[in-house]
Amino acid sequence: MQAIDPFVRTTSEFSKKLLTDYDIDEVMEELAERATALLGLMGSGVGLEREGRLEVITAVPPSVGPLEERQEADQDGPCVLALTTNTIVTVPDLATEERWPAYRQVAAQLHVRSVAAVPLTLTEKAIGSFNLYRDHTGPWSQGDLAAVTALANMATAFLVNASALAQQTQLTQQLQQALETRVLLEQAKGILAEANTITVTEAFSLIRRYARNRNIKIHDVANAVVHMGVRPT
């Protein structure tokens, strides 16, 4: 039986994970770990755009963290460039690079010799960067960059899916609250209508006026009527 290609196995496993309840930070870290192992890297990291800035999400292993943090602090470096230009940035030899002096100084201290950054792209806009680190110089192969681009696209899919799930959860909660408010309000109107021998329409007017005069929500007034014995007049 032919062994499954490690890259195929990785993409298959992460595709299945998309259908589960996942923690986005854990997924980003695992993707970075897989990229590091698959390509034989010194390390890798993921940064995401927030309010126009690149912010570090994960660095694997932690020893490359200072390099990610330097870029976040200065907003300067190959990963920031990949984010702002939405293009793949490769640096075969940092020793011959003239840009990003502070970044290169940290890289030298960590013995990082070569870097690449692949943007996480959503509808032609970069929303983050997948960052790769090697301890040796040399050009980045098209095969390696294609593999990381596929992983970057997968990372984007997880981010979009997480956002959609969060929005759906928020919508569900809002609908549930609206339903609960309606039920509570009907109960409160019935209580006031019976207590004051008035119509439910008049009872609702009492609740609404009470809420407006005290600058509180109708839901809170209804709750007070039903559960606390409050009787607006």
Report yes or no on whether pTM surpasses 0.75. Answer: no
Q: Which CATH number fits domain 6-165: 3.30.70.60, 2.30.110.10, 3.30.70.3270, 3.30.450.40?
A: 3.30.450.40
Looking at the chain, the domain(s) classified CATH 1.10.10.10 span 169-228
Looking at the chain, the domain(s) classified CATH 3.30.450.40 span 6-165
Integer-rounded Cα radius of gyration of the chain: 28
Tell me, what DSSP letter sits at residue 75?
T
Q: Which residues contact 102 (CB under 8 A, 6 or more apart)?
A: 70, 74, 76
The CB density around residue 174, as the number of other CB atoms within 10 Å, is 10
Tell me which residue of 203, 202, 201, 230 sits closest to 216, measured CA to CA.
Answer: 230
Give the architecture-level CATH label for domain 169-228.
Orthogonal Bundle (1.10)
Write out the chain's pLDDT in tens, 233 residues.
Answer: 334 477 677 766 766 666 566 666 777 778 888 889 888 999 999 888 888 888 888 888 989 999 999 999 999 999 999 999 999 999 999 999 999 999 999 999 999 999 999 998 888 888 889 999 999 999 999 988 888 888 878 777 777 766 555 555 555 565 566 567 777 888 888 888 888 888 887 888 888 888 888 888 888 888 888 888 888 87
CA distance 153 to 130: 10
Answer positive or negative: Cα dihedral of 73, 76, 77, 80: positive
